């Protein structure tokens, strides 16, 4: 019996155990169970702050690079322990609560473009019994009139299990509502949601933040359209195009296509929302997106951070030449 079959049997409680014993030709007298006393559990640190994870792909990958690059992408405060159970099933144990929360709440995560599916692990459940089929991801429902705001939760539930949503107040830019949902990776992505009003149907496109690799032919995660069938498809077959969100809204006026420094799009302050955890794609080639600061923000930083002597904008020294200003910026590595 495979691990998956055993896992499904154990998940069924007593009925599952009886079914498993029947399949294996076992009788009650054949079993000599070891009694585990609940009042004498293992030390708490042996089972806390763990996750079980797999990469959503049928392709082989380097386990060494998987561990190495995920730790880098997560930007952990302390090193994590790792263990491979099968070729595509792994356990991570973190050394502090902050790292565990960052990883479990900060996704979706990807390795070489493919989703990393994970779930908290208690250290007592059979690893094979834990179903790793979901990711939490932010979606954008575009061009939805403000009068339909009460329908946002119902619309998002057509995409995945509703988790939470962000305010779409007038303080935020962006012609969309942003909602966090739990996606089942066994189902194709939803490219649109619809509302029927007075017998007339309206369609609203759906985009996904930080969307891992997906197939433009079938809409499933885990492969790209060139890996679907023989990989040769007419343009008309690519019906799941342009699913990845190109920008995020931000309070105070972020522009489309520009990096976000805070608000809804992410933050560069604090370890839990660092540049690495926001923008890093776990791969052998390590790249971090550059934050594009507005000119007003840059001028504020100049005035705030410049020393009190020899820097333009500092008190009593507005006449320093541009050459000295540029040299100070280079020396201080401010840009």
pLDDT tens figures, 211-242: 999 999 999 998 898 888 888 899 989 888 88
CB 267 within 8 A of CB 273: yes
CB 195 within 8 A of CB 151: yes
For residue 90, the tally of other CB atoms under 10 A from its CB is: 22
The yes-or-no verdict on residue 188 having pLDDT over 70 is yes
Best mean pLDDT range from 79-83, 123-127, 167-171: 79-83
Strands (E), 176-258: 176-184, 192-197, 200-208
CA 202 to chain centre: 30
Burial bucket for residue 18 (CB in 10 Å: 0-12, 13-18, 19+): middle
Helix (H) or strand (E) holding 17: helix 13-24
The domain spans of the chain are: 134-245, 298-332
- Residues 228-279: tens digit of each pLDDT: 888 889 998 988 888 898 866 554 444 443 333 333 333 333 333 333 333 3
Q: Say whether pTM exceeds 0.75.
A: no
Q: According to the model, what pLDDT value does residue 32 have?
A: 60
How much is the mean pLDDT over the chain?
74
- The CA distance from 173 to 30, in Å, is 67
- The CA distance from 113 to 115, in Å, is 7
Three-state DSSP at 9 gives: helix
3-state helix, strand, coil in the chain (%, to 5): 30, 20, 50
Contacts of residue 183, defined as CB under 8 A and 6 or more positions apart, other chains included, come to 134, 135, 136, 137, 159, 160, 189, 221
Question: Which of 27-41, 99-113, 159-173 has the lowest average pLDDT?
Answer: 27-41
- The CA distance from 46 to 91, in Å, is 13
Percent of the chain with pLDDT over 70: 61
Q: Phi and psi of 299, rounded to 5°?
A: -65, -40
- Nearest of 65, 82, 73 to residue 102 by alpha carbon: 73
- The CA distance from 286 to 276, in Å, is 10
Length of the chain: 335
CB 303 within 8 A of CB 295: no
- Residues 2-30: tens digit of each pLDDT: 344 444 444 455 667 777 767 777 766 66
> Span 297-325, mean pLDDT?
46
CA 89 to chain centre: 18
């Amino acid at each position: 019996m495979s691990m998956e079959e055993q896992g499904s049997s154990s998940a069924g409680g007593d009925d599952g155990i009886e079914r498993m014993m029947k399949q294996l030709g076992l009788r009650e007298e054949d079993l000599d169970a070891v009694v585990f006393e609940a009042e004498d559990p293992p030390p708490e640190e042996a089972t806390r702050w763990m996750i079980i994870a797999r990469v959503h792909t049928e392709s082989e990958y380097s386990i060494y690079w998987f561990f190495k690059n995920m730790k880098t992408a997560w930007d952990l405060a302390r090193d994590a322990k790792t263990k491979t159970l099968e070729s595509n099933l792994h356990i991570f144990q973190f050394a502090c609560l902050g790292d565990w929360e960052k990883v479990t709440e900060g996704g979706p995560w990807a390795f070489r473009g493919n989703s990393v599916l994970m779930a908290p692990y208690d250290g007592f459940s059979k690893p094979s019994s834990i179903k790793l089929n979901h990711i939490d991801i932010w979606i954008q429902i575009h061009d939805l009139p403000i009068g339909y705001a009460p329908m946002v939760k119902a619309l998002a539930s057509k995409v995945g299990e509703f988790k939470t949503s962000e305010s779409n107040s007038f303080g935020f830019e962006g012609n969309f509502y942003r909602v966090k949902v739990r996606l089942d990776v066994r189902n194709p992505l939803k490219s649109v949601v619809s509302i029927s009003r007075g017998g007339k149907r309206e369609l609203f496109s759906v985009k996904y933040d930080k969307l891992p690799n997906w197939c433009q032919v079938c809409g499933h995660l885990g492969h790209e359209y060139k890996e679907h069938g023989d990989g040769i498809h007419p343009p008309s077959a690519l019906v799941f195009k342009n699913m990845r969100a190109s920008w995020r809204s931000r309070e105070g006026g972020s522009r489309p296509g520009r990096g976000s420094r805070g608000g809804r799009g992410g933050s560069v302050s604090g370890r839990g929302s660092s540049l690495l955890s926001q923008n890093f794609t776990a791969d052998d080639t390590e790249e971090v997106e550059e934050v594009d600061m507005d000119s007003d923000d840059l001028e504020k930083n100049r005035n705030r951070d410049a020393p009190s002597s020899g820097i333009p904008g500092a008190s009593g020294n507005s006449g320093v030449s541009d050459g000295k200003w540029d040299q100070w910026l280079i020396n201080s590595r401010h840009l």
